[in-house]
Structure 1
Amino acid sequence: MAVEHPVANAPGDQTRIHNIGYRSYDGPRLGRAYARRSLYSQSLRGAYGLGRSVKSKVLPMLLFAVMCVPAAIMVAVAVATKAHELPVPYTRYAIIMQAVISLYVASQAPQSVSRDLRFKTVPLYFSRPIETADYVRAKYAALASAMFILTASPLLVLYAGALLAKLDLAHQTKEFAQGLVSVALLSLLFAGIGLVIASVTPRRGFGIAAVIAVLTISYGAVTTLQAIADVNGSSGAIPWIGLFSPVTLIDGVQSAFLGATSSGPGGEGPSTGAGAVYVLVALGVITASYGLLMRRYKKVGL
C-alpha cells in the first residue's frame, strides 16, 4: 500500500513513500552448528573444485590421480608377479609422494582462505551467527579432510590390491591401519601450516609460493644437514635435525611408533624417547597453527 505525504504536493513534486513489501523471516533458524557445517562442506567441496568452474577442478583432480596411479601400478605388479609383499609399505607411500602432497596443500590452502581476505568477505561471515572459532574450525577441518582423502585413497588402493594378491590379511590390515594413522597426522600438520601461511596474504599467488617455499626449503635443508651429520660421524644428531621439517617430522613419528623404516641416512629412525619428542612437536605445531589462525581472524573480523 502506498502512503502519500500528508502535505499537498507542489506542482511537479513526485515525492512518494512506498511500501516495498519487506517482511520478517518466520522460518526455522538453524544456528551456528548448521552454518559451521555448511562452511565446512562448501570448503571441502572447493578443495577439489566441486561446485566451481572446470578450470578449478583440473589441478586438484590431476594431483589426486597422480597420487593414486602409482599405487594402482604397484598393485598390478604385485598381483601379476604373485609377490609376498607390496613394493612399498603403507607408511612409506606418503613420504615418497611428499612433493605432490606439498603442491596440493600449496594450491588449496590459499584457495580456501585467501579469496575471503581478498574480497573482504570474512566480516560478512561474522555478521551471521558464526564466530571466529567456527570459521577457523570449519576451514581447518575441511582442508585436513581434503588432505586425508588425497593421502588415504592410494593406501586404500594398495590395501585392496593386497587382498586381491591374497597377501596375509592380518598383517596387511595392521600395516594399513598404521598408514592411516600416519597420513591423518600428516593431514592435520600440513593443513595447519598451509592455512597459517595462506592467511597472511590476500594474494593467492603469494600464498602458493610461500607454502611451497616453506615446505620444500625446510625439507631440503633438513635432509642436507642430516647427510652432512652422517658423513661427519655425528649420527646422534640426525634424529634431532629431523624435528625442523614437516616431512621428516612425520617420518620420525612413524619410524618410532608405527613400524616404518626411516627415510633418513642409514634408515635408522629416532629412539622411543626421541620419538615421543617428535609426537609432542607435531602436536605442538598443530595446536600452534590453530592458535595463530584464531588470532589472525579475530583481527580480520573487526
Structure 2
Amino acid sequence: MEPETTALAVPAQTADPTRIHNIGYRSYDGPRLGRSYARRSLFAQSLRGAYGLGRSAKSKVLPMLLFAVMCLPALIVVAVTIFTKAKEPLVDYTRYALYLQAVIGLYLASQAPQSVSRDLRFKSVPLYFSRPIERVDYVVAKFAAMASALFILTAAPLLVLYVGALLAELDVADQTKGFGQGLVSVALLSLLFAGIGLVVAALTPRRGFGVAAVIAVLTIPYAAVTTVQAIAYGQGSFDAVGWLGLFSPITLIDGVQTTFLGAASAFPGGYGPPSVLAGVVYTAVVLGLIAGSYALLMRRYRKVGL
C-alpha cells in the first residue's frame, strides 16, 4: 500500500511592493490670501492669547483677574462719586495708570513671555518664517498685539470713570477732555511697556526667566529713581527731581503727560520736568525706546534660523 502524499501549502501571493496608490492629492487652486492675512491672523491670535482666549481655562485666570483688579477701583470711585454727589472727579484720568502700575507690570510680565518665549522654546518660529510671513510681519504682529492688550487693560477703567462721571452729571466738556488726555497717556504707556516687555521676554525661551526679568526691568529702575528723587527733593534740588524721571519707564510717561497733557506730576513735591525743553527730552526718550525696542526685536529674530 502506497503512502498518502500530502499537498504542500502554497503561500499566498504577496502584494506588489511597487504598486502606486492614488490617495487623492489635488493641487490647491483657491485664493492666495498672502502676507497681510497671515499678519492679521497672527495679531488676532496673539491678542486673544494675551487674555487666555482660545487657550485652556487655567490660562484665562490670571489675565482676567488682573483685568478685574484694574477696573475694580474705577467702579468704586464711580460709586463714591455718584452717592456723594461730588462736583469734581476723585481720580484724574492721567493718574489712574500710575496708581495701578504694579498691576500693569504684573500683567506684562505674565503675558509677554507667553507671547514670544513659547515660540522660541518649542522652536516654532521657523514655521512662521517658512511662508508667506516674514520676520517683519512676525515682529509687527506681536508688538501690535501686546500693545493692544495693554491698551485694553489700561483704557477700560478710564472708560468706566468717564461713564461714571457722565452719570454723576459732571461737566461733559471737562470730562471728555480729561478722558482724551488719559487715552493718549495710556496709549503711549502701552507702546513703551509692550516694547520693553517683548524685548526682555525674547531674550530667553524659558517663560519663568522671562517673567522675572520683565518684573526686574520695570521695578528696579522705578524704585531707584523714586528713592534718589526723594533724596534730591529733601536737599532742595527740585530741577534734579524732574530730570531723574528719565531713568524709569513709568516716570517717563509721568514726565510726558505732565508737560503736554496737563497732568499733575507724581514726582516728590509735584515737581515734574523743569521746562518744556525737558518735556521734549522726555518725549524723545520715550519714542526712542519704542523705536529701539522694535529694532532690537528685529535683530533678535534675524538670528532665529530656519
TM range (shorter): over 0.9
Equivalent residue number for residue 263 of structure 2: 260
How many corresponding residue pairs?
A: 292
Amino acid at match of 2:106: L
Any gaps of 5 or more consecutive residues in structure 2? 1-12
Equivalent residue number for residue 281 of structure 1: 285
Which has more radius of gyration? Answer: 2
Q: Is the 8 A contact 1:44 1:142 kept in 2?
A: yes
1:63 aligns with 2:58: no
Query: How do residues 138-287 of structure 1 correspond to structure 2 at under 5 angstroms?
Result: 138-270=141-273, 271-287=275-291
Equivalent residue number for residue 3 of structure 1: none
Measured in 2, the distance between the counterparts of 1:301 and 1:88 equals 49
Equivalent residue number for residue 87 of structure 1: 90
Measured in 2, the distance between the counterparts of 1:236 and 1:45 equals 44
Measured in 1, the distance between the counterparts of 2:83 and 2:50 equals 35
Q: 2:17 is matched with which residue: 15, 18, 29?
A: 15
1:250-282 CA-partner distances (Å, limit 9, x unpaired): 000001111111111111211211000000000
Equivalent residue number for residue 124 of structure 2: 121
Cα drift, residue 20 of structure 1? 2.7
Q: Is the 8 A contact 1:132 1:301 kept in 2?
A: no
Q: Is the 8 A contact 2:238 2:271 kept in 1?
A: no
Equivalent residue number for residue 8 of structure 1: none
Any gaps of 5 or more consecutive residues in structure 1? 1-10
Measured in 2, the distance between the counterparts of 1:143 and 1:103 equals 14
Measured in 2, the distance between the counterparts of 1:79 and 1:100 equals 26
Query: How do residues 21-100 of structure 1 correspond to structure 2 at under 5 angstroms?
Result: 21-100=24-103
Equivalent residue number for residue 304 of structure 2: 300
Identity of aligned residues (%): 75
Measured in 2, the distance between the counterparts of 1:291 and 1:207 equals 19
1:193-212 CA-partner distances (Å, limit 9, x unpaired): 00000000000010000000
Measured in 2, the distance between the counterparts of 1:14 and 1:154 equals 71
Cα drift, residue 127 of structure 1? 0.5
Amino acid at match of 2:198: L
TM-score, structure 1 as length reference: 0.95
Cα drift, residue 90 of structure 1? 0.2
Q: 1:103 is matched with which residue: 89, 103, 106?
A: 106
Cα drift, residue 222 of structure 1? 0.6
Measured in 2, the distance between the counterparts of 1:178 and 1:121 equals 40
Question: What SS does the aligned partner of 1:187 have?
Answer: helix
Measured in 2, the distance between the counterparts of 1:134 and 1:51 equals 22
Amino acid at match of 1:145: S
Amino acid at match of 1:23: R
**Please, which moves more after superposition, 234-243 or 46-55?**
234-243
